[in-house]
Amino acid sequence: MRQSRSGYPATLHALRQRAEAALQQTPPGVIESPEGDPQRLLYELQLHQAELAIQNEELRQRQIEITAAHDKYAALYDFAPVGYVTLDARGTILEANLTATTLSGVPRSMLVGIPLAHRIARDDQDTFYFHRRRVFETHTAQTCDLRLQRPDGTVCVAHLESCAIAGEAGPARQCLTALSDITARKQAAEALQAAHDELEQRVLERTTTLATAYEEIKRFADVVSHDLRAPLINVQGFTNELAQACEVLQAVLPTALPSLDNAQRAAVTTALEGDIPEALGFIRAGVVRMNELLEAVLTLSRMGHRPLHYEVVDVETLVQQCLQTLAHQLRERQVGVIVAPLPQVHADSLAMTQIISNLLSNAINALVPGRPGELRITAAAGPETVAFHIQDNGRGIAADDIPKVFEMFRRLGSQEAAGEGMGLVYVRTLVRRHGGDVECQSTPGVGTTFTFTIAKHLAESHPPQHSAGAAMP
């Protein structure tokens, strides 16, 4: 300790100066008087009394500060957002804050002194036993989740985090345990898991339903292929026989006509030369049309079941190839085509060709005769899909008719146009097999935009293969 010039330690010297200041002044000659002088002794006593008064005041202030600090930290301990308990090696509660009493539902007076295990649900007793054991054996922080059983029957799910309190000598004999109420978090997690399970169940049910629907379509296609085609073949065969019989009658008609009166000759001639050939023509046309429709249904069934071979497809190159096959129609109708930069996708090359060809053909057929046509092909990539847009400036589609364009045997525009009205059905089937969908937006007199999407996640579930189309310039 630093010494003052008078021989006192520095702190004592400062205390003496304060005591002297408290006495206002030092009587003259006291310091120089002999040590046994009564006046000097009296002064020294007064000085020590002043020093004691100063020290007592300082101690009182320190006590006030210590009490305030204690109250502050006691409040922080009691009203902490988590519960705190101090446990001995047997798990008996030595101390507990108010939050811990709230979590357990037991007053502090009844909580301190009992084993914490008394407040833990029976099924979680082993969890707490091994938790406490690891704390004292490893002297490292340990955590676990368990349920606290309150006296009123309610349950609180708590997260425990415990650490051993090192003793002055020997192994730790106490541990501090923090308890956090995670009931709401557990309930939210369970609700989320339940929602996830329900969603998985619904997906499974939807997948099963779709699989059943596909199987029904396949069975329907088999029926179409066998049970419906057989009667058509019979109708076509008997129609040919009727035509041959009609030819026989027409051959003998000149011989038989003289024996008939005028009315009979007119009726027979009209029937053999007009009505019967016309009816046979209608029957044959109906058989051909029916056969075309059945073939369209079979094609749709094959599209729904044909294995897809996924590869990297350069859509821009594929679009140019499709436009080349339609070059004559484009020149004839004076159609201008704008192809924006198009991305590559992971898809079946043949299916993509069918999708784009059908949409381009529909767009050309929708153009207004006598007005220069315009086609615009663009694309936009989203987080999960790539969207392709094929836009025309044709006659457009009425709002009420837009939902019908994807129906089977529904043809856009003139009903005399060639085709079975299955093109957009094929498109939707193939697009959905690629994890996407197709939609239509149209304004009558302005034009129509068909948009179809291809899922990006297909690249994750199918190993990429090289596409011949992608290698083309």
473 residues of the chain, pLDDT tens digit each: 444 444 445 676 677 777 666 666 556 555 556 666 677 677 777 777 777 877 888 888 888 777 766 666 666 677 788 999 999 999 999 999 999 998 999 998 899 999 999 999 999 999 999 999 999 999 899 999 999 999 998 999 999 999 998 766 667 889 999 999 999 999 999 999 999 999 889 888 887 877 777 677 667 666 666 666 677 777 778 788 888 888 888 787 788 778 878 888 788 888 878 888 888 888 877 777 677 666 666 666 665 566 778 899 999 999 999 999 898 889 888 899 999 999 999 998 888 998 999 899 889 988 988 888 999 999 999 888 999 999 999 999 988 888 888 776 566 555 444 445 677 888 888 888 888 999 999 999 899 999 999 988 765 555 544 443 433 32
Given this model, what pLDDT does residue 256 score?
79
Cβ atoms 298, 408 nearer than 8 A: no
Closest alpha carbon to 133 in 170, 180, 172: 172
CA dist 168 and 95 (Å) reads 19
DSSP assigned state of 9 = B
Output the DSSP codes for 190-206: HHHHHHHHHHHHHHHHH
CA distances from 191 to 31, 158, 185 (A): 87, 18, 10
CA dist 465 and 455 (Å) reads 17
Closest alpha carbon to 397 in 365, 371, 422: 365
Cβ atoms 91, 136 nearer than 8 A: no
pTM of the model: 0.46
Given this model, what pLDDT does residue 259 score?
80
Q: Which helix (H) or strand (E) holds 213?
A: helix 183-223
CA distances from 252 to 246, 263, 267, 268 (A): 10, 18, 15, 12
Strand-pair category, 373-381 with 335-339: parallel
Cβ atoms 354, 306 nearer than 8 A: no
Given this model, what pLDDT does residue 336 score?
93
Cβ atoms 297, 227 nearer than 8 A: no
Any idea of the CA torsion for 188, 194, 197, 199, to the nearest 10 degrees?
Answer: -80
Return the ∠ at Cα 277 (arms to 274 and 278), rounded to 5°.
75
Given this model, what pLDDT does residue 375 score?
95
Alpha-carbon torsion 195, 200, 203, 204, what sign? negative
Given this model, what pLDDT does residue 193 score?
92
Given this model, what pLDDT does residue 29 score?
56
